Structure formats: structure tokens, C-alpha cells
Chains A and B, each alone.
Chain A
Amino acid sequence: MEIEEKHNRSFIRIIIWIIPIFLFSLSILMVLYTPVFQDYAFKVKSWFASAPLYEGKSPETIQKLSLKSRRNINSTEEKLEKLRPVKPYIVVNTTENRFSLRNVNGDTIRTGVCSTGKNELLIAGNKRIVFKTPKGIFTVRNKQQNRPWIKPDWAFIEDGLPIPSARSAERIDYSTLGDYALEIGNGYMLHGTLYQRFLGLPVTHGCVRLGDKDLEVIYNTLSKGSKVYIY
């Protein structure tokens, strides 16, 4: 009997030390996981939250405020509507090398693969040439069929060739751009390609290359002034 009592007492002694151990662990946890404890504290705080600001206001006041907001909504919607493109447009995704041709309502007419900039930095002496497709909003400035490509200097530098004079016939290339080309400014274009097998890969010097059939549809759908969104 006495032994059993002694046993119980020592058991209680051990058990009771759990309290300081728990407190110690809690203090450590509170420092280590403050965000978790704060998140729970916000829950507690929300129980004491004051009544919503609009509660207790007269129906007339609420109506007046609603009316004001509705008027603002209508005018904002009108302004947003005015920003919509008035012609079909194309959206180019440079991460996945895909395009989507859309009509004025924003409905997709055609989707497909394309090729965009290879994100390369070509170092030629002091010159640094960046091959990447610019992102943003552009406008179709010009459309041309069988447009020859006037090779810029980098095309020769990249091939290890001497740079010819500005008006040299060596610069003219009749095959690279394919059947159609749509200029979007700063020398960038939407055009065809000889390397159809690379479509879907980032291989260009900044232009957007398209497959023959896609390019034909895009050429016939977009007109001068159409928007080109590149992201």
C-alpha cells in the first residue's frame, strides 16, 4: 500500500512538470510561428468587430449612395467599352509561343503555335545585340505580300559574314519572310518562315513567325490599324 502511494506521488510529480514544459514550448512556438498565432488572434479580434459602417444609416442615405455608385458604374463601363479594339486583333503569348486571333467581341477565331524571340545576347566586339520579342500593345502599320527582307547588320554578324554596304544587293532576301508580312513597328513583323518545324519554339530575332495557313488567315483578318498584343 505504501509502495503504491509512493509510486503515485512520483507519477504526479512527473506529470506536473508537464506544465512548465508546455509553457516553455509555447513560448518557443510563439516566436517561431508568430504568423500562425497572429492569424488565430485575428479570428478572435473579428468576434469583437464593430457593426458595418452602413448599418444604422437611413434607407434614404443608402439609396443616395447606391445611386451615386450606380451612376459611376455606368459611366466607367462606357469608358471601358470605348477602349475595346474596333478591329479584330491578335494576342501573342511569348512564354508558350502561341497566338490567338480574336474578333471585335473578343471571341477567338483561331489559335495556333508561333515562334517568338530566342532571348539571346549577341556580343560582337563593343556591340551588344538583343534578340527578344518586345511585349506590349502594337498596331499593324503595314501589310505586304511577298515582302523581301532587307537584312540588317546583325544577320551578317551572326553568320560570321562581312557587313555589306547599306544599299548592297546582298542585303535583299526574298524567301525568309514567307508569303505575307505585317509590320508592327521598329522593324518587328508578323511573318512566315522557312523553318516550320521550329514553330512553337523561341527561335526568332524578335519577330513573330507563323505557319503558312495561320499567317494567311491572320493576313486576311487583320488590317492596317489592327492591334497586336504581345505578352
Chain B
Amino acid sequence: MKVKIAFWITTLLLFAAVAYISVTTVIQPVFTKNPLPKAIIRSNPEERKKVGKDEIIVPDDDTIQSSETGGNTKDAGNKLLEIRRKEILLRSRLTLATEDSTYLVLDLINNKAILELKGIPLHECRILRADISNSIKLYPADALLNWLAEPFVLRNVEATIPKISFVEKIAPKDTLEANKMVTEPKEAKLGDVFVVMDFDRNLRLVMSQSEQPDLDGLKLISDLRRKYSKLEISRSLKALTKFNREPVKPQIEIVIPKSDATILYKALPLNPRMILRM
């Protein structure tokens, strides 16, 4: 009898715990919060004056919502989405091409990562694998456009390789010392690449290499992965007391060759911008 009571009490308590945890950490953030905030379309008053009637205007949602409803076909809607997608991509490209900074174009339709400057593709590489969070993949296509409407701006980045590494050298006192310092240049060893880039509008881009990392690289990569999972665990634990958890950052993980990953990471400026095509 005692065992029976203990069983039921334990089961009920655990059931309540599971329900509470699932509501707090999973159901509430997923069903009540938007993981993909709308982009704020930047408008340049000078550009507007210059361009006049041909100015690029993205039809805002209000226009669409207030328009009359009728018997249109699904195909026409899909076609419009396709056109809007292209329009947004080109508009973002133009915005970044007018600036003097290198930017990244992540084309998940053609599986390409392109490094561009002033609209000129500098480096292009094939994305071998792309894992996209369900929060992005299954987001309504038309609403997704509002999220993609502007280039993403990098907020934080962590990587297993340095962006730039300088060798410090003390100037020689005389020619004798200078001759001793001369060494034959060698090809620098490429470290294993794993980069976590947090952009605005809640996007996380993870870039990893397709090649198997060596032991040191494996340690660095798993340390970085562990750091981010620890952060999520602490957020979940906090949410249990505060009953308020943000949805996990929508994530895109791309796998590209090591050499390309190194080039992309090193070539991008400190606060790069990115255009996402999907």
C-alpha cells in the first residue's frame, strides 16, 4: 500500500514537473513569441529625392491586408511571393553595394556563400550542407519576407581561429642582429574552423568546416559548442523561476570546405552585413 502511494505521488509530482517545464521552456516561448522580428526598412531621404518616382518601395503589409479579398488563385500569390523575394534580394544587394564594405550573400536556394564588395563577387563557395531551424523553415513564407527585407548586421561573433594574427618583432639594433632574425617564410597552418555569428533580428549563423578537425581543433570546437549549450541551459533554468523564456535563436548551420570557411571569416570586416536568400 505504502509503495503504491509513493508511486502515485512521485508520478503525479513528476508529471506536474514535466508539464511545468514544457510549458515554461518550450510551449510558452514557441507559441507566444515571434522568433523572427520584422526588419525595419531603412529609407534614405536623399536617395528618395534623387530617385523620385522610381524609388524602391516594398509594399507594406497594411496595403496588402487592407486590400479587398476575392477569388485569386494560389499560384498568383506564390508568383508574387517569388517576385517579392527577388525584389528584396536585389534591394539589399544595392543597399550594400553602395557602401565600401565587404558583405556576405548566403544563397540557400543555390547553396552558395558569396563574398561581395560593391556588387562584385570576390569569392564564391559551395555550401555542402545547410541545416535550418524549423522556426525559419516552417515560418509562413510571406511573413518570412518581412524578416529578410533588410541585410542582417552582425552583433557578436566567436570563432576557433583568429580574425587576424600579428607576429610581433622587435627591431634589430644592427645589421648583425638583423641577419640573425631572417628566417625562411613558411606556409601558415590553417586552424580548424568553427564560427558562431549572432546577427540582429535574432539570427544565428554557424559556419563549420566539412573536413574532420584534428584533436586540438576538435577540443576548440566542442568547447565553443558547449559554451553555447550551457548558455541555453542557464536560460532554461532561469525561465523556470521567471516563467519567461525567449525562443531559442533561429539557427542556420552551414558546412563548407575549410579553406573557404577561413577565407570568408578572415575577409569579412568586424561588423559585416549579410544578405540571406531562401
A residues in contact (CB < 8 Å) with B: 13, 16-17, 19-20, 23-24, 26-27, 30-32, 34-35, 37-43, 45-46, 49-50, 52-63, 65-66, 68-73, 75-77, 79-80, 83-85, 89, 91, 93-96, 106, 118-125, 127, 130, 132, 135-137, 157-161, 198, 200-203, 229, 231
Contact = CB atoms under 8 A, between A and B. Distances in A.
Contacts of B191: none
Contacts of B72: 54-59, 61-62
Contacts of A130: 166
B176 interface: yes
18 contacts: A16-B7, A27-B17, A32-B229, A34-B235, A34-B245, A52-B140, A53-B61, A54-B64, A54-B142, A62-B76, A65-B64, A69-B86, A73-B86, A76-B93, A80-B90, A119-B164, A136-B102, A201-B186
Nearest to B86: A73
Specify which of A31, A58, A127 lies most central, judged by the most chain B CB atoms within 10 Å of its CB: A31
Nearest 6 pairs of A and B residues by beta carbon: A58-B70, A124-B171, A54-B77, A46-B138, A160-B178, A23-B14
Contacts of A42: 30, 35, 133-135, 138
Range class of the B interface residue count: 35 or more
Specify which of A20, A38, A58 lies most central, judged by the most chain B CB atoms within 10 Å of its CB: A38
A72 B57 contact: yes
Nearest to A128: B168
Contact of B56 (A38, A46, A76, A125): A76
A49 B140 contact: yes
Chief secondary structure at chain B's binding surface: helix
A30 B26 contact: yes
Interface in B4-61: 7, 10-11, 14-15, 17-18, 21-22, 25-27, 29-31, 35, 51, 54, 56-59, 61
A80 B87 contact: no
Contacts of B57: 68, 72
A66 B101 CA distance: 32
Given A16-B7, A84-B119, A160 B87 contact: no
A160 B59 contact: no
A208 B237 CA distance: 53
Interface stretch (B120-128, B149-157, B212-220): B120-128
A53 B102 contact: no
B277 interface: no
A16 to B, nearest CB: 7
A95 B266 contact: yes
B115 interface: yes
A61 B81 contact: no
A41 B26 contact: yes
B80 interface: yes
Nearest to A71: B54
A53 B66 CA distance: 11
A132 B27 CA distance: 51
Nearest to B69: A56
B1 interface: no
Nearest to A61: B67
Given A34-B245, A35-B248, 10 more contacts: A19-B11, A38-B135, A45-B138, A52-B140, A59-B71, A65-B63, A106-B121, A118-B185, A229-B118, A231-B102
Interface string B248-278: 1001000000010011001101000000000
A96 B260 CA distance: 10
Contacts of A89: 120
B173 interface: yes
B107 to A, nearest CB: 16
A80 B94 contact: yes
Contacts of A118: 167, 185
Nearest to A154: B171
Given A65-B64, A95-B267, A31 B90 contact: no
Given A23-B18, A31-B233, A121-B166, A159 B175 contact: yes
